[in-house]
Amino acid sequence: MTLLPQLLRKQLTLALEKTDAEIPDGFQVAISLAKDARFGDYQSNSAMILAKRLKQNPRELAQAVVDAGEWDSLCEKPEIAGPGFINFKITTETLQNHTLKVFSDGHLGVPQADPAQTIIIDFSAPNVAKPMHIGHIRSTFIGDCLNRVARSLGHEVITDNHIGDWGTQFGMIIYGWKKYLNKEALAEDAIRELVRVYRQVNAEAKADEAVMQACRDELVKLQQGNADNHAIWQETVDLSLNQLRSIYDWLGISFDHYLGESFYNDRLGPVVDELTEKGLAEESDGAMCIFFRDIPALAEKPAIVRKRDGGFNYATSDLATIDYRVSELNADKIWYVVGAPQQLHFQQIFAATKMRGKNVDMTHVAHGSILGSDRKIMKTRDGDNVQLLDVLQAAVERASAIVKEKNPTLSKDEQKDISEAIGLGAVKYAELSQHRMTDYIFSWDKMLSFQGNTAPYLMNAYVRTRAIFRKLGDDVTFSDAVTIEADGERALAIKLTQFGETVPDILNDFRPNLLANYLFELAQTFHSFYEECPILKSEGGTRASRLVLCELTSRVLKQGLDLLGIRVTDRM
């Protein structure tokens, strides 16, 4: 369905063409949400921008546009503000009709992509034989949200968890497996036992060169295809993935592929051979490197694709991964949701891919860090990374205490279900409500609060909408025409129609916080509507119309939170 800003853009363009202004080729008018709802619903600064180019008075051009336009069926006559802003207020009739269209639309007014594209999203990417830690929150939750949003817009999305399942650490793990492994501990908590074994061997290897050499020998055996070592490696991967998948399942996150580094192992040599044959890689101090002499920012930062000892690295693996994603998965776009410190790596990889003639749109969706109350990277008292599972379990436990206090009559199963929805939702929302590049402080009290911009506040707004319909039971009649008379009705209707405008914007700069902020504003607007406009006490057409607004609010909150990966409950 056509969005209100699209209708305004069309009318504004027609009005501009009727003026005497010489419109440059390619010039497009822009419509944005009004910064102050008292002066309208939408605004445009296009007259100001065009006037500057044409060296005209911006207010005079804005007035000419307003006078030339035909606005009656869409909005009230636009008003000019400041140096030349044009403010638009949608007519009540148009808003009523558009709200009803959104109510009847299966996508809630969210437009579908045309054309749809194949997008691969690379996110989370933990290492095998290591626990996921709090640092994985950002990549995991941002990547999952982008996946949900892109799918909702009609794109074909392929999610790939590019796990770290190959490398030098496996020499130590295999050595420790053979010498120190406790099978009972492995069965009870595989990753914890593998970490214990790795740390013990790592400490010994640092103190004794003979142990270090023994670990290297075990790695060489693995790389040469030794059956026993390969079996240990495979069991390590399988046990780790089982534990990782249990966390993802709890979070409601799934992946189409777990194509780790090992999947591309046999492809690394051919990649370097191709680079060498094409003259894109050259030897430097015994290593094969790609030099970016024509790119000033990378001119003195070559990418090593084969080390002096003949080994490969992340750059080689990522180039092989791109080959597979382009040739086998037919990717139009590849999004890497990875921390900001890897910026140089991706600049090199993207540049090398272009040099190789690969036609694919690649983006590094960078993000910042999560900080403790001391504004430093969160660590345990022992200096280790805080484990993700510990954070999630603590969130659910804290939510459970709140649920029991607020609603002690709920059954144990209901309390458990609601506590998990609130606890996990709170951690997700605390992440996704931030700009992805912002370093933010992790705060239990803030994220679990039922006041302010938090998941519990939004979930409570959804619960309030469902409570209305529980009280009505079977006595629910939706109007076939929305009637907007009160200010609260108008504010809620205009906010609901903006859902379809908000969702596509998320992908413009990969900003889930735009959706979080929209949902928070919607919840606030609904609460104001609820206080101003009686629903259960109203009658006839007024009640039927207000029930449409309540039901649409309920649907948008549920769908919006689902796009953030947050599950709602009907009671709290």
pLDDT band at 37 (very low <50, low <70, confident <90, very high): confident
User: Which pLDDT value is given to residue 394?
Assistant: 93
- Phi, psi torsion values for 447, nearest 5 degrees: -70, -25
Percentage with pLDDT > 90 across the chain = 86
In the predicted model, what is the mean pLDDT of residues 261-269? 94
251-260, 311-320, 391-400, 443-452: lowest mean pLDDT where?
Answer: 443-452
The 3-state DSSP class for residue 429 equals: helix
User: Which pLDDT value is given to residue 290?
Assistant: 97
C-alpha distances out from residue 86 to 12, 39, 51, Å: 10, 10, 13
Q: How many Cβ atoms sit within 10 Å of the Cβ of residue 245?
A: 15
Say whether pLDDT at 331 is over 60: yes
d(CA 275, CA 290): 8
C-alpha dihedral (481, 487, 489, 490), degrees to nearest 10: 70
pLDDT band at 349 (very low <50, low <70, confident <90, very high): very high
d(CA 484, CA 489): 6
Of residues 484, 490, 502, 550, the one with CA closest to residue 523: 550
User: Which pLDDT value is given to residue 364?
Assistant: 98
User: Which pLDDT value is given to residue 451?
Assistant: 86
User: Which pLDDT value is given to residue 376?
Assistant: 81
Are 156 and 117 within 8 A, CB to CB? Answer: yes
In the predicted model, what is the mean pLDDT of residues 312-319? 94
In the predicted model, what is the mean pLDDT of residues 415-433? 96
In the predicted model, what is the mean pLDDT of residues 164-168? 90
The DSSP-derived string for 113-127 is PSS--EEEEE---PB
User: Which pLDDT value is given to residue 310?
Assistant: 86
Q: What is the largest CA-CA distance in the chain?
A: 87
pTM for the full predicted model: 0.94
- In 69-189, where does DSSP find H-type helix? 92-104, 136-152, 169-180, 183-188
In the predicted model, what is the mean pLDDT of residues 161-178? 94
User: Which pLDDT value is given to residue 21?
Assistant: 87
Which residue bears the tokens 């600064």? Answer: 45
Say whether pLDDT at 518 is over 60: yes
In the predicted model, what is the mean pLDDT of residues 441-452? 87
First vs last Cα of the chain: how many Å apart?
A: 35
User: Which pLDDT value is given to residue 552?
Assistant: 98
Of residues 456, 471, 500, 486, the one with CA closest to residue 549: 486
Computed on alpha carbons and rounded to an integer, the radius of gyration of the chain in Å comes to: 28
C-alpha distances out from residue 257 to 120, 161, 341, 361, Å: 10, 6, 25, 20
Percentage with pLDDT > 70 across the chain = 99
d(CA 326, CA 353): 11
Cβ burial, residue 48 (10 Å; 0-12/13-18/19+): middle
User: Which pLDDT value is given to residue 379?
Assistant: 65
Which residue bears the tokens 């990969």? Answer: 510
d(CA 302, CA 315): 11
Of residues 502, 508, 489, the one with CA closest to residue 560: 502
DSSP β-ladder status, 32-33 and 42-44: antiparallel
Of residues 472, 460, 455, the one with CA closest to residue 407: 460
Name the percent of the chain in helix, strand, coil, to the closest 5.
55, 10, 35
Long-range own/partner contacts, residues 9-15 (CB < 8 A, 24 or more apart)? 11/69, 11/70, 11/71, 11/74, 12/44, 12/46, 12/65, 12/69, 12/86, 14/69, 14/70, 15/65, 15/66, 15/68, 15/69, 15/70
User: Domains in the chain, please, with CATH?
Assistant: 4-90 (3.30.1360.70), 118-154+258-365 (3.40.50.620), 169-238 (no CATH), 455-563 (1.10.730.10)
Residues 6 or more apart in contact with residue 547 via CB below 8 angstroms: 468, 472, 476, 477, 478, 479, 535
Q: Give, to the nearest 10 degrees, the angle between helix 412-432 and helix 455-472.
A: 130
* H or E element that contains 491: helix 487-497
Convert the pLDDT of each residue in 362-421 to its tens digit. Answer: 999 999 999 888 888 766 555 577 899 999 999 999 999 999 998 899 999 999 999 999
The β-bridge partners of 282 are: 289
Say whether pLDDT at 428 is over 70: yes
Of residues 78, 112, 76, the one with CA closest to residue 95: 76
User: Which pLDDT value is given to residue 85?
Assistant: 95
C-alpha distances out from residue 34 to 42, 108, 357, 454, Å: 4, 22, 44, 24
The β-bridge partners of 118 are: 156
Say whether pLDDT at 73 is over 90: no
